[in-house]
Chain A
């Protein structure tokens, strides 16, 4: 009895710091944002409670919907490639681990390195490489394309830079997943005469399913929350074709100092992200 009480006490104590941080930095700001979205406010001053008026405006706001479309387009370009590429890299690293530990470590380091870069450095590198007249990409392709000003290319280029930048994290998740697969399963499969792709198809792939689902859901949420890359590389241009929802929210709040409306954008967007995340998790779980 005594032991149980001590356990409860220590559990509570251990949970407290997290709960405090959660309430202070997430729950309270979220509730404040919810309230803000029901007012007409400038950056710091709340002037008037307006009920759902901001949401009514939002539904008819073409800028909001186009920014949402851009956000989905970016997610479409990144979520599956990032997950698939992460898996391929993990398989490569794992493949070499059995034969050349050194090569495997080197590969893992090289794949993961871009992930540690701050966004400003990553975007600078991408910007240098893609300069119209001096960038190496145009040099290799023998053209002078202004990638970030090109309506067709601006978003795909941002997506490619993002994939290069963040794929290392997914790779690490898949490596952890691969190392968790019991060796006996492979030995048993080998005894049954399974080789090459069949091993992957019937053992590795099913065993990695939970990791894949987690990676896809996390990646979808991360991609929907894109802001820094497009803000720095394209400033949302050309003519807003790469302006994502968070960027629109930023502009509304800071350039136009319409914090109430920006809060409504934030709430609507949060709702969409949560709904999509849940839907995706449900669908993937069901298939499994």
Chain B
């Protein structure tokens, strides 16, 4: 009884101390859409930041990736109920900044946190601007790359003397490489997500159109012409010929590669941590390599996107200067510590980290670093970007030819007929 009373008193005292100490702590609510390996890395950065100082505490909430995340961010922030900070894709900036969902970040605010625009790689910094103002602080860049299983590719005669992938140039050479793996090893040539409503095909298709110098949309019209169909048909052929498995969703496609059952995988660099982890843990029993997406047409363009930090506008609830300082303090911490983020496969946007010797030597990132030179982002447009309105429509129709459910021409015709309305519509102001 007595002991119980003492314990209660001690607990009350502790709680009092706790609340007194926390009275002047700025709590920053962050919403993020990165999960899986990326999510664990971001969590480590948040924990590191929280432990590094006592004035700001970041509370991170992970929400479902894609359309649900952006819908929630948009609706919450126009109602003034959004978070203090959000991770976004820079490809969505024209949509979010143009729609009034985000609040600009001024040079003075950046400077107070010890950041300058010139600290960031120019392309990513340029993608953070809208109408001449910065609406996000870039974190990284993540291009589409070509993963390969050295054991299977070796058996298929696709490696050079040093054990690296021989350069593949041109669509026929790529198809031939996939065929060689299939015929020599009996395993799939390529692992790529191809189920209904998946995004990989859209990203690859955009890359290959860019390799032919063709934009998807120009001047409010679809601009890829006949190449759209032939390119889609060339990719669909890999599946129809049995070099790749049709109908696989994302997890099935990555586990096909991770289990050593496919020679190649076309995916973003975000799968790098899983390969690194699996190799360390011994669950991945093959040697792997990563190369930039091959030049299958006129140039070596590769689709890429970037994550960035942005401050929601929260109408009717403008951010206090103290809160802004707290948010930027966290952004500055993550930027200067983004080597940890680079270990997740991403190419950091903060130059002092990106250009450091350590980052340049980081493996396997160094193998595909060349991809950064030829990345293409989604063209600006309110309907473009990750899980944006146009991508959402494309993700429904473009996978169908891979499974042989629609012809490439039919898939593109249906895609256009549904997307037409978006092109004509003026950008929404949320």
A→B interface (CB under 8 Å): 42-45, 47, 57, 61-63, 132, 146, 148-149, 151, 234-240, 251, 254-258
Could you tell me if B197 and A43 are in contact, using CB atoms closer than 8 angstroms? no
Could you tell me if B405 and A44 are in contact, using CB atoms closer than 8 angstroms? no
Could you tell me if A149 and B247 are in contact, using CB atoms closer than 8 angstroms? yes
Of the listed stretches B223-231, B325-333, B338-346, B421-429, name the one at the interface; the rest are far from the partner chain.
B421-429
A selection of 22 A-B contacts at a CB cut-off of 8 Å is A42-B428, A43-B75, A43-B428, A44-B79, A57-B421, A61-B421, A146-B195, A146-B247, A149-B195, A235-B196, A237-B197, A237-B396, A238-B196, A239-B196, A239-B396, A239-B411, A240-B418, A255-B67, A256-B389, A256-B421, A257-B428, A258-B428
- Which listed residue (B247, B396, B428, B430) contacts A236, Cβ 8 A? B396
- Report A-chain residues with C-beta under 8 Å of the C-beta of B406: 239
Could you tell me if B74 and A238 are in contact, using CB atoms closer than 8 angstroms? no
| Cα of A47 to Cα of B429 in the assembled complex, Å | 9
- Report A-chain residues with C-beta under 8 Å of the C-beta of B418: 62-63, 240
Given contacts A148-B196, A239-B400, 9 further A-B contacts (CB under 8 A): A43-B74, A62-B418, A63-B418, A234-B196, A237-B197, A237-B396, A238-B396, A239-B411, A256-B421
Could you tell me if A42 and B99 are in contact, using CB atoms closer than 8 angstroms? yes
Could you tell me if A42 and B414 are in contact, using CB atoms closer than 8 angstroms? no
- Report A-chain residues with C-beta under 8 Å of the C-beta of B414: 239-240
Flag whether B417 is at the interface (Cβ < 8 A).
yes
| Cα of A254 to Cα of B67 in the assembled complex, Å | 9
**Of all chain A residues, which has the CB nearest B415?**
A239
| Cα of A44 to Cα of B101 in the assembled complex, Å | 11
Q: Give the 9 A-B residue pairs with the shortest CB-CB distance, closest first.
A: A42-B428, A237-B196, A238-B196, A257-B428, A44-B78, A256-B389, A254-B71, A239-B400, A149-B196
Could you tell me if B196 and A255 are in contact, using CB atoms closer than 8 angstroms? no
- Which listed residue (A62, A235, A255) contacts B389, Cβ 8 A? A255
Could you tell me if A257 and B405 are in contact, using CB atoms closer than 8 angstroms? no
Chain A: minimal CB distance from B236 (Å): 14
| Cα of A254 to Cα of B430 in the assembled complex, Å | 11
- Report B-chain residues with C-beta under 8 Å of the C-beta of A234: 196
- Report A-chain residues with C-beta under 8 Å of the C-beta of B403: 149, 238
Could you tell me if B430 and A257 are in contact, using CB atoms closer than 8 angstroms? yes
- Report B-chain residues with C-beta under 8 Å of the C-beta of A61: 421
Chain B: minimal CB distance from A102 (Å): 46
Chain B: minimal CB distance from A81 (Å): 26
Chain A: minimal CB distance from B405 (Å): 6
Chain B: minimal CB distance from A61 (Å): 7
Could you tell me if B430 and A256 are in contact, using CB atoms closer than 8 angstroms? no
| Cα of A236 to Cα of B196 in the assembled complex, Å | 10
- Report B-chain residues with C-beta under 8 Å of the C-beta of A237: 196-197, 396
Could you tell me if A44 and B430 are in contact, using CB atoms closer than 8 angstroms? yes
| Cα of A97 to Cα of B364 in the assembled complex, Å | 71
- Which listed residue (B67, B396, B422, B429) contacts A42, Cβ 8 A? B429
Give the interface residue-count category, chain B.
20 to 34
- Report A-chain residues with C-beta under 8 Å of the C-beta of B239: none
The B5-27 residues at the A interface (CB cut-off 8 A) are: none
- Which listed residue (A62, A151, A240, A254) contacts B396, Cβ 8 A? A240
- Report A-chain residues with C-beta under 8 Å of the C-beta of B78: 43-45
**Of all chain B residues, which has the CB nearest A150?**
B405
Could you tell me if B429 and A45 are in contact, using CB atoms closer than 8 angstroms? yes
| Cα of A257 to Cα of B389 in the assembled complex, Å | 9
| Cα of A151 to Cα of B429 in the assembled complex, Å | 37
Chain A: minimal CB distance from B33 (Å): 15
| Cα of A237 to Cα of B411 in the assembled complex, Å | 13
Could you tell me if B71 and A255 are in contact, using CB atoms closer than 8 angstroms? yes
Chain B: minimal CB distance from A240 (Å): 6
B390-430 CB contact bits vs A (8 Å, 1 = yes)? 00100011001001011000010010011001100100111
| Cα of A43 to Cα of B417 in the assembled complex, Å | 23
Chain A: minimal CB distance from B383 (Å): 8
Chain B: minimal CB distance from A36 (Å): 14
| Cα of A149 to Cα of B392 in the assembled complex, Å | 17
Chain A: minimal CB distance from B427 (Å): 9
The B279-333 residues at the A interface (CB cut-off 8 A) are: none
Chain A: minimal CB distance from B319 (Å): 20
| Cα of A254 to Cα of B403 in the assembled complex, Å | 29
| Cα of A196 to Cα of B230 in the assembled complex, Å | 67
- Which listed residue (B195, B397, B422, B430) contacts A45, Cβ 8 A? B430
- Report A-chain residues with C-beta under 8 Å of the C-beta of B67: 254-255
Could you tell me if B71 and A238 are in contact, using CB atoms closer than 8 angstroms? no
| Cα of A84 to Cα of B317 in the assembled complex, Å | 55
- Report A-chain residues with C-beta under 8 Å of the C-beta of B79: 44
**Of all chain B residues, which has the CB nearest A63?**
B418
Could you tell me if A235 and B197 are in contact, using CB atoms closer than 8 angstroms? yes
- Report B-chain residues with C-beta under 8 Å of the C-beta of A235: 196-197
- Which listed residue (B383, B417, B429) contacts A62, Cβ 8 A? B417
| Cα of A250 to Cα of B244 in the assembled complex, Å | 34
| Cα of A43 to Cα of B428 in the assembled complex, Å | 8
Chain A: minimal CB distance from B403 (Å): 7
Chain A: minimal CB distance from B393 (Å): 9
- Which listed residue (B392, B400, B422) contacts A238, Cβ 8 A? B400
Interface centre among A47, A57, A148, A235 (most CB of B within 10 A): A235
**Of all chain B residues, which has the CB nearest A149?**
B196
Interface centre among A61, A234, A255 (most CB of B within 10 A): A255
| Cα of A151 to Cα of B195 in the assembled complex, Å | 13
- Report A-chain residues with C-beta under 8 Å of the C-beta of B71: 254-255
| Cα of A57 to Cα of B425 in the assembled complex, Å | 12
| Cα of A143 to Cα of B236 in the assembled complex, Å | 24
| Cα of A61 to Cα of B411 in the assembled complex, Å | 18
| Cα of A148 to Cα of B195 in the assembled complex, Å | 10
| Cα of A235 to Cα of B68 in the assembled complex, Å | 12
Could you tell me if B425 and A258 are in contact, using CB atoms closer than 8 angstroms? yes
| Cα of A148 to Cα of B78 in the assembled complex, Å | 35
Chain B: minimal CB distance from A11 (Å): 40
B190-211 CB contact bits vs A (8 Å, 1 = yes)? 0000011100000000000000
B42-81 CB contact bits vs A (8 Å, 1 = yes)? 0000000000000000000000000100010011001100
